[in-house]
Amino acid sequence: MNFEFSEEECQFLREVNEFLKEHDDPDVMDVTRENMAQINDTPKRQAFMKKVAEKGWMGITWPKEYGGQDGEGFYEYLLNEKLSSVGAPQIGKGVGIVGKTLINKASEKLKKEFLPKILNAEIEFAVGYSEPNAGSDAAAMRLKAERQGDGWILNGQKIFTTSAHFADWYWIGARTDQDAPKHKGISLFLLRMDDPGLTLHPMPTMGGERTNSVFFDNVFIHDDYRVGEVNMGFMYIAEALDIERFTLFTFSPIRGRVQLLCDYVKTATKDGKPLKDDPIVRQRVAKLATECEVARLLGVKFVDAALRSNKAPTFEASSYKLYATELSQRVADATMDIVGPGAQLALGVEDAPLKGRAESCYTYTVIDTIGGGSSEVQKNIISRRELGLPKNF
């Protein structure tokens, strides 16, 4: 594995940097939204993504026959890292989870209908896996899909659908065989979010953002909008989750939080003494900086493994997601401890240390170890797929 960027990669980074400077806008780029900055939830942010699409950056890794560039995934990784470093929306669900699954599994009808719109940033998706009694265990979903004529009738509930209130289409898993084993009997569907059978209930988060509960009341989906084979949906979801676990939690925001803490320690004092001279503070910050480098290399390892295998690696994705999200929480904890009582002051409070970022980092990162599969799920994946341990041990 080569840890140095090639000249072509450096040139791409320079091009992205110039693009971000040209389109700098605080309404689009907001690092204080932490990981939620990646969502494309306002007209201004959607317009920004259309400009990204005009650069040809939405389908870097897609096959040319579908409008892509047949490029290496490392460029997609570099682009997302740069976007996340300034708090801009990222090329997430549409290009990765939805687009790549459609390319590999969907009918020609669905490819023709959705892929050009994804490439042109004309469409937004919500992803519906989590349910009240399933949590982050996608295989435990119970949303019922019953065959009726040339389609399916869906009844049940999804929770924690973050983009449901602004998305155009719903990418959902539903149980099409009620008697099949847990990891079978699930199918994937695409559904318009304005379907009259859908009811959205907002779920406010600690960070001031919004996610949603979504209720299905006799929702009809034509079979043309089923993705891939019947009852094979969990396999497709598992493959897509490997992409999600990596792209949802980019490294740059974690590095930014560590740098923010380092800058604070350089100038702050406690009891009249510089914090930078406190051996305990120095040790804790040095440990975080070291762990930050480990997270970066785990991310590079994932991209390298994907390039070698031409698909999203499984345990590498889980290893990165587990380490990076728990590190993110350790950084938030350390910031609260080192800054002291003032760290509890929120964004917008005058004279708040770190301009209130300590409090926002802490509240936002609470959910990091849950999204895309909890830490416990990641440990199970690593134990089985990397270490070869049995399911029950």
Q: Which residues contact 44 (CB under 8 A, 6 or more apart)?
A: 25, 27, 28
Q: How would DSSP label each residue in 68-87?
A: -----HHHHHHHHHHHHHTT
171 residue type, one letter: W
Same domain for 221 and 131, yes or no, is yes
Same domain for 59 and 32, yes or no, is yes
CA–CA separation, 348 vs 355, rounded Å? 7
Q: Tell me whether residue 293 is in a domain.
A: yes
Same domain for 377 and 279, yes or no, is yes
Write down the pLDDT at residue 159.
93
Q: Tell me whether residue 35 is in a domain.
A: yes
Same domain for 209 and 171, yes or no, is yes
298 residue type, one letter: L
Same domain for 253 and 213, yes or no, is no
Same domain for 226 and 253, yes or no, is no
3-state SS assignment for residue 316: helix
Write down the pLDDT at residue 380.
87
Q: Which residues of the chain have pLDDT under 70?
A: 1-3, 135-136, 242-247, 307, 309-313, 392-393
Write down the pLDDT at residue 263.
96
Same domain for 211 and 169, yes or no, is yes
Q: Where are the alpha helices (DSSP H) in the chain?
A: 7-22, 43-54, 73-85, 100-105, 108-119, 233-247, 252-267, 279-309, 315-339, 357-364, 375-385
CA–CA separation, 155 vs 95, rounded Å? 28
- The neighbouring-strand residues paired with 372 are none
The predicted-structure confidence for 164-188, as pLDDT tens digits, reads as follows: 999 999 999 999 999 898 888 999 9
Q: Tell me whether residue 237 is in a domain.
A: no
Write down the pLDDT at residue 342.
94
CA–CA separation, 175 vs 158, rounded Å? 12
- Look up the domain containing 35 and give its range: 7-91
Q: Which CATH number is 268's domain given? A: 1.20.140.10
For 277, half-sphere exposure in the C-beta direction (CA atoms, 13 angstrom radius) is 6
The predicted-structure confidence for 132-172, as pLDDT tens digits, reads as follows: 987 667 788 999 999 999 999 999 999 999 899 999 999 99
Same domain for 156 and 278, yes or no, is no
Q: Tell me whether residue 83 is in a domain.
A: yes
Distances 92 to 11, 132, 274, 333, 352 between C-alpha atoms, Å = 23, 25, 42, 28, 33
Token digits for 249?
């939690």
Closest by Cα among 142, 209, 213 to 180: 142
Same domain for 39 and 145, yes or no, is no
Write down the pLDDT at residue 309.
65
Q: Tell me whether residue 224 is in a domain.
A: yes
Same domain for 270 and 330, yes or no, is yes
Q: What angle do CA 298, 63, 169 make, to 5 degrees?
A: 80
Closest by Cα among 88, 105, 214, 74 to 157: 214
Same domain for 327 and 363, yes or no, is yes
Q: Tell me whether residue 156 is in a domain.
A: yes
Same domain for 256 and 376, yes or no, is yes
Q: Which CATH number is 171's domain given? A: 2.40.110.10
Per the structure, the count of domains in the chain is: 3
Write down the pLDDT at residue 371.
77
For 95, half-sphere exposure in the C-beta direction (CA atoms, 13 angstrom radius) is 30
Q: Tell me whether residue 120 is in a domain.
A: no
